Amino acid sequence: MIDTPLSPGSTIGIFGDGQLGRMLAIAATQLGFKVHIFSPQHGSPAFDVAAFHTTAPYSDLDAVKAFASEVDVATVEFENIPLDTYEHAGKFTCIAPDTKALATSQDRLAEKRFLSSHDIPVAPFVEIDSEADIATAVQKLGPAGLLKTRKMGYDGKGQIRLKADAQGAGANSPGVNLEEAIKAYSGAPSIFEALVNFELEISCVAARDWAGNIVFYDSPRNEHRHQILAESHVPANISEDLEKLARTYTAKIAEKLNYVGVLTVEFFVPPTGGEVPLIVNEIAPRVHNSGHWTMDACSFDQFENHIRAIAGWTLGNTQRHSNAKMINLIGSDMEGWAEFAGSSSANLHLYGKGEARAGRKMGHVTYLSGKN
């Protein structure tokens, strides 16, 4: 725990080297901190803006010890860092968030059980440990659903969608039938999750400090394409009651996880009049793609507030001064950088990545308009 706010010149350690680590490093540097990145990769985007970096496997606990011993607090840019690595770092420096948050979010089954145990709605689900379990799950929950690996899944990875009629009818519906799903099943521990009927998706981005103080950004409405976030819009044009409920659930999750830093909770919004007004899709214990709009529409964005939280500083005001539309630049979208850069209305953020592969997030652009 950070009892006394870290002084400028202190060192922030970040596990992970992608665009989120890069933007965290920029925010930390602007506050006068030094940044040390730990990553197994060479030549990564975050290295370009950090004072120090360590390139070593996460399994190299000697390197982890040396890294942790040189930083004043360590954090993560992604949730799938090995728990042994993170726990080892915690022996030599403060870590935020702690291992409970990562352990919960790394395992879809653990996450859903955690949420359910605290009366937070989730989609109906069944644990999958064998091919036979898939057929049983379909009988219990119905054919329309998602077969998801319990670990290492994001942006649609590790997911198989079953057709509305999983026995094979409805050939034009998206997904595969039951036989194809069983054949594609890797044998990895998984869950089967019933498809949720929803009108829109939103996310709640919050920052919580060591003392338990919490602040919230306005919830954006999110649009996905090919299971990757494509756009976020603020305001989401949801009711005050729905916004309040999203914040209530997020605050409860943060409290139960003893969370420090920025936490994001993704929600499905079912049609009005349903049994529950909000259903949690997943928890992200980190800064989040759907919070990128805060970089241009708020005085204190999600990256600065994450650094402030873990460093023991007072959290910044999350009020937005503008409406915002954030568009991800994915793969070949990067080719239009010159047009975005030449526009006086486009706030362009590029991530310093080399190859623009399909599905790879290369940057984002945010358009602002008058607040309502």
- Domain locations in the chain as residue ranges: 11-95, 124-194, 200-369
- Across residues 182-188, what is the average pLDDT? 82
In the chain, what percentage of residues exceed pLDDT 70?
95
Question: What is the spatial distance between Cα 294 and Cα 316, in angstroms, rounded to a whole number?
Answer: 12
pLDDT score of 153: 61
Average pLDDT over residues 239-243: 96
Please give the Cα distance from 320 to 296 (Å, whole number). 9
Q: Which whole-number Å values give the CA distances from 139 to 71, 135, 176, 189, in the listed order? A: 52, 6, 16, 19
Spatial distance between the Cα atoms of 19 and 46, rounded to a whole number of angstroms: 7
Q: What is the pTM assigned to this prediction?
A: 0.93
Q: How far is CA 230 from the centre of its chain?
A: 14
- Alpha-carbon distance of 235 to 59, in angstroms, equals 43
- Chain segment 328-346, per-residue pLDDT in tens: 999 999 999 999 999 999 9
d(CA 179, CA 160): 12
Q: How confident is the model at residue 100 (pLDDT cuts 50, 70, 90)?
A: very high
CATH topology of domain 124-194: Dna Ligase; domain 1 (3.30.1490)
Q: At what angle do helices 19-30 and 302-310 cross, to 10 degrees?
A: 70
200-369: which CATH architecture?
Answer: 2-Layer Sandwich (3.30)
CATH fold of 11-95 reads Rossmann fold (3.40.50)
Q: Is the pLDDT of residue 166 over 50?
A: no
Which of the two residues, 124 and 173, has the higher pLDDT score? 124
- For the cut 90, the answer to whether the pLDDT of residue 178 exceeds it is no
> Over 80: is that where the pLDDT of 171 sits?
no
- DSSP class of residue 334 equals G
Predicted local confidence at residue 172, as pLDDT: 47
For the chain, give the mean pLDDT.
Answer: 93
Mention every residue, 6+ apart, whose C-beta is less than 8 A from residue 70. Answer: 11, 13, 36, 52
Q: Which residue has the higher pLDDT, 130 or 36?
A: 36
155 pLDDT band, cuts 50/70/90, is low
* Confidence check: pLDDT of 165 > 50: yes
Amino acid letter, residue 215:
V
In this predicted structure, which of 70-74, 147-151, 349-353, 359-363 has the lowest mean pLDDT?
147-151
pLDDT (0 to 100) of residue 19: 97
What phi and psi values does residue 325 have, to the nearest 5 degrees?
Answer: -130, 115
Looking at the predicted structure, is the pLDDT value of residue 170 above 70? no
pLDDT attached to residue 293: 98
> From CA 71, how far away is CA 281, in angstroms rounded?
34
